[in-house]
Structure 1
Amino acid sequence: MKKKRSFIILLFLFVLVLTASTTKYYDNKYNIDSNIIENLKLEKQNYVTIDRMPKDLKRAVILMEDKRFYKHGGYDVKAITRALIADIKARKIVQGGSTITQQLAKNLFLSEDQSLKRKIDELFLSIKLEKVYSKEEILEMYLNIIYYGDGAYGVQEASNKFFNKNIWELSIEECAMLAGIPQAPSLYNPKDNLEKAKSRQRFVLKLLDKNKDMVISRVVNMNFVEA
């Protein structure tokens, strides 16, 4: 089994090398080397800086979306390997293995196309984003553009729509509910499916309770309990 996984990783890296020279970032709306944050602030009336977001929200989002966020450089080899094995078994893309940085790259620059080429573009863009922006800036941009269902993009818009509050006023319970939405916005947002949203909220709260000592900071070290 270990040999098989090693082969898959090597094959994946080989494909990356072959395609690296032809990778194109094919949405010219943003330029990584320019200040994307300033552009987003101009576009989004409800843009909120990371220092105004509740710590519980940031903890919950990282636990749900990308537990190794502070440890990787844009992509998570373990998550990619798991996703590749699942995709090969299913003979189609069924898991993305995407980090928060990769999701940001996709939302800023790429389409929703589930092709291998798009995934490779996403990976190289993520590496570039990590070189230009800090983890806090990446998380800030992600939380301001991610879709939460019912027409709400970004945490402030979602907070206003679902709780009639500003994001910095949310309780830990409300933060948990928000953090559970992005993986399936139409299924978990409380406007459309309140009971499913509550069930998801309970799961996130349990995860937060297990990870009370989790550190959210500029420090790379980060402790968490596997769900």
Structure 2
Amino acid sequence: MRILVVEDEKDLLESIAEGLRIDGYAVDTCDNGEDAYELAFTENYDLIVLDLNLPKMDGIDVLKEIRKTNQDVKVLILTARTHIRDKVKGLDLGANDYLTKPFHFEELEARIRSLLRRKFAQVDTVLNCDKLRMDLVSRIAYADEKEISLTRKELGLLEYFLLNTNRVISQEELIEHVWDGSADSFSNVVRVHIASLRKKIKAALNYDPIQTRIGEGYILSERGKK
């Protein structure tokens, strides 16, 4: 999943971004409202963590502009403003959740998981497809009930495949949702990581549930489906 974190406190911004990257998310960052506005309209994010007290453009104004054209991206407001009217205003303008500073990172993680599950109509914290399973809280994957050792990026790929089972996913879509803005869409980065992921899963299951659709992309299918 790809997340944009907008926060003008540099240390906090870096701390949140690093924590989310450890969790396996692709994270872009910026520290002002104008850059947030531009990124929100040029990139495809699954969730935006948005501070309100931002230089150049207030977070509330960024949220207003986002909701004029994009009702799908989840927005979690993160701010030091504690007055109830600020919370109500943010939620009324289309924010999906609101977390005040100071906060525990574990709570931010839980709120992000909750919002992403809503986006993908997923009600459980465990994703399944036949003998493949991934626990979103522990960030551990299992094949035939045995834990498989995956890199952060492989976990991100598997999560996106499990959220989109039986649907062909293009390389461009994977770049948008599993990599951050530094990824080169013309490189072979997707193919390399998918090849590694498929090799590990096949070694555990003795078959490969991820198939290549030439000219289209990749698909994770339930066994017996094509």
Give the structure, 1 or 2, with the largest relative contact order (CA under 8 Å, sep 6 or more). Answer: 1
Q: Of Structure 1 and Structure 2, which has the larger fraction of its residues in strand? A: 2
Q: Of Structure 1 and Structure 2, which has the larger fraction of its residues in helix? A: 1
**Normalization by structure 1: what TM-score?**
0.36
**Normalization by structure 2: what TM-score?**
0.36
